[in-house]
Amino acid sequence: MQTIDQFKFAGKKAFVRVDFNVPVDEQFNITDDTRIRAALPTLKKILADGGSLIIGSHMGRPKKNPDPKFSLKVIVDHVSELLGVPVQFAPDCQKADAQVAALKPGEALLLENLRFYAEEEGKPRGLADDATDEEKAAAKKVVKESQKAFTAKLASYADCYVNDAFGTAHRAHASTALIAKNFDEQNKMFGYLMEKEVKAVEQVMGHTVRPFTAIMGGSKVSTKIDIIENLLSKVDNLIIAGGMTYTFTKALGGKIGTSICEDDKLDLALELLKKAKAKNVNIVLAVDAKIADTFSNDAKTAIVDVNEIPDDMMGMDIGPKTEKLFADVIKSSKTILWNGPTGVFEFENFSHGSQAVGEAIVEATKAGAYSLVGGGDSVACVNKFGLAQGVSYVSTGGGALLEAIEGRVLPGIEAIRGF
Ligand code: AMP
């Protein structure tokens, strides 16, 4: 497989798919530029080698072309500043031939939001709410057909294709996956960020050093079923935390008061426990809880046995005994995956459990374990507690990381390396 370090970019034009889907405020100021910074090593490397950049990204969910609320024009100055060269802007990603032709080595061109065109996602637009199945199928056929020309146009701008957008690697879109078919093996590759993400997932899910412990937190079992199912074939220990604790506790006959619970998932919880036993996976459930009388930071609190939550109280975080139980398992592990907080970490008074888990992971990492943190709120957690530097890798991809952990093949990765 071609790599960004081996490829000779001098005199070449590179189409680089990045994830510049940054949040902006009402005045269109960027409120968090992490995603832009994450792509800089790849972009700078290509420029430094004497290549030129055609940068493609999406932003938000535009519904028409153009959709000024989602224009990438608002980030041009900031990208220029970070990249250290003036970035040119192509206001229509399908009409950039002249600008591309004029690009010289060391220069960069940012294309307007690729999702202004329905062909990027390959989903039809403007269908009436009452459209029949036939009408939907016909509209889909039309957009799929024009998707080929759309993709070929993007590919025609460049000599090589670099995918550095791990955040959209789980989407089979024109610029994230389909475009790769227009380049031969030698001319397509991952960017540095993508390389790092793929390596981190492989380290955890592929070349696992045991014992392997996964900590699954968050609010609901229903959103994590596929992940838990897949992890049961991989892990030695599965720590179940966060809101889903109470679905398991109730299924096992405990009293959970007004805690968050999915009553239609009680059987599923028991089934997962049965499967875990059959696979010799050690499921670690909370033994105590920090409870509250209302869902607020200032609520009246108490620490109780997780099976004995009073009728008018709810579990908001793990208790001290559980913190120790989880920490002991984590510290005896050689591979660790953390997704989802142990409690309502957004409230200071219910963040202690998540912090304790994060600190145990940092300690295990110091002692030689490999730790991967990712998927939504767990990233916010490690950042909030200043622990990001102490874990092996913090993933930038929410949905993409979760799908990788579910064991799915990600189209953006497959399009380049074939699996
Ligand atoms: P998820 O997006 O599924 O990873 O869930 C993250 C959310 O779960 C966070 O916003 C937490 O506040 C929430 N959460 C964690 N524990 C609980 C709990 N015991 N009760 C209610 N929400 C919780």
C-alpha 209 to ligand 1 mean position (Å): 29
pLDDT value for 20? 97
Q: How far is CA 276 from CA 86, 168, 273, in A?
A: 55, 31, 5
Which of 260, 339, 344, 373, when mutated, tests ligand 1's pocket best, judged by the most ligand atoms within 8 Å of its CB? Answer: 344
Identify the residue whose C-alpha is closest to ligand 1 atom 12. 344
Backbone angles phi, psi at 108, to 5 degrees: -135, 140
Domain boundaries, the chain: 13-190, 199-405
Q: Do domains 13-190 and 199-405 have the same CATH topology?
A: yes
Contact 242, 259 (CB under 8 A): no
Per-residue pLDDT of the chain in tens (419 residues, 90 and over written 9): 999 999 999 999 999 999 999 999 999 999 999 999 999 999 999 999 999 999 999 999 999 999 999 999 999 999 999 999 999 999 999 999 999 999 999 999 999 999 999 999 999 998 999 999 999 999 999 999 999 999 999 999 999 999 999 999 999 999 999 999 999 999 999 999 999 999 999 999 998 999 999 999 989 999 999 999 999 999 999 999 999 999 999 999 999 999 999 999 999 999 999 999 999 999 999 999 999 999 999 999 999 999 999 999 999 999 999 999 999 999 999 999 999 999 999 999 999 999 999 999 999 999 999 999 998 788 889 999 999 999 999 998 889 999 999 999 999 999 999 99
Residue 292 to residue 316: CA distance in whole angstroms = 7
Q: State the greatest distance between any 2 C-alpha atoms of the chain, in Å, as a whole number.
A: 71
**Ligand 1 atom nearest residue 217's Cα:** 4
pLDDT value for 397? 87
Q: Which residue has the tokens 């080595």?
A: 105
C-alpha 220 to ligand 1 mean position (Å): 7
Q: What is the pLDDT of residues 323-379, one digit of tens each?
A: 999 999 999 999 999 999 999 999 999 999 999 999 999 999 999 999 999 987 888
Contact 333, 234 (CB under 8 A): no
DSSP run (H or E) holding 238: strand 237-240
pLDDT value for 176? 98
Contact 110, 88 (CB under 8 A): yes
With a Cβ cut-off of 6 Å, ligand 1 is lined by 218-220, 223, 242-243, 260, 315-316, 340-341, 343-344, 346, 376-377
- Listed in sequence order, the residues at least 6 apart from 383 whose beta carbon sits closer than 8 Å to its beta carbon are none
Identify the residue whose C-alpha is closest to ligand 1 atom 11. 344
Q: Is the dihedral of CA 384, 387, 389, 393 positive or negative?
A: negative
DSSP run (H or E) holding 46: helix 34-48
Identify the residue whose C-alpha is closest to ligand 1 atom 10. 344
Specify whether the backbone of 242 is left (phi greater than 0), alpha (psi in -120 to 50) or beta. left
Identify the residue whose C-alpha is closest to ligand 1 atom 21. 243
Question: What are the residue numbers of the active site?
Answer: 35, 220, 376, 399
C-alpha 341 to ligand 1 mean position (Å): 6
**Ligand 1 atom nearest residue 345's Cα:** 12
Residue 60 to residue 398: CA distance in whole angstroms = 15
**Ligand 1 atom nearest residue 347's Cα:** 12
Q: How many CB atoms lie within 10 A of CB 27?
A: 6
Q: How many CB atoms lie within 10 A of CB 74?
A: 17
Identify the residue whose C-alpha is closest to ligand 1 atom 20. 243
pLDDT value for 398? 87
Strand partners, 350: none
**Ligand 1 atom nearest residue 315's Cα:** 19
Q: How many CB atoms lie within 10 A of CB 298?
A: 10
Q: E strands of 186-341, at which residues?
A: 188-190, 212-216, 237-240, 255-256, 282-284, 288-292, 301-305, 308-309, 314-318, 335-339
Name the residue among 277, 299, 275, 302 with its Cα closest to residue 290.
Answer: 302
Q: Does a cis peptide bond (omega within 30 degrees of 0) precede residue 66?
A: yes
C-alpha 208 to ligand 1 mean position (Å): 28
**Ligand 1 atom nearest residue 224's Cα:** 3
Tell me the residue length of the chain: 419
Region 13-190: CATH code? 3.40.50.1260
C-alpha 360 to ligand 1 mean position (Å): 20
Cα–Cα–Cα angle for 225, 231, 235, rounded to 5 degrees: 145
Q: What tokens does 286 get?
A: 């909370």
Q: Which residue has the tokens 């957009």?
A: 143
Which of 226, 259, 342, 377, when mutated, tests ligand 1's pocket best, judged by the most ligand atoms within 8 Å of its CB? Answer: 377
Identify the residue whose C-alpha is closest to ligand 1 atom 2. 218
Name the residue among 397, 355, 393, 345 with its Cα closest to residue 373.
Answer: 393
C-alpha 340 to ligand 1 mean position (Å): 7
Backbone angles phi, psi at 415, to 5 degrees: -60, -25
Q: For the chain, what is the radius of gyration of the CA atoms?
A: 24
> Which listed CATH number (3.40.50.720, 3.40.50.1260, 3.30.43.10, 2.60.120.10) goes with 199-405?
3.40.50.1260
**Ligand 1 atom nearest residue 246's Cα:** 19
Residue 329 burial (10 A CB sphere; 0-12, 13-18, 19+): buried
Residue 266 to residue 385: CA distance in whole angstroms = 33
C-alpha 344 to ligand 1 mean position (Å): 5
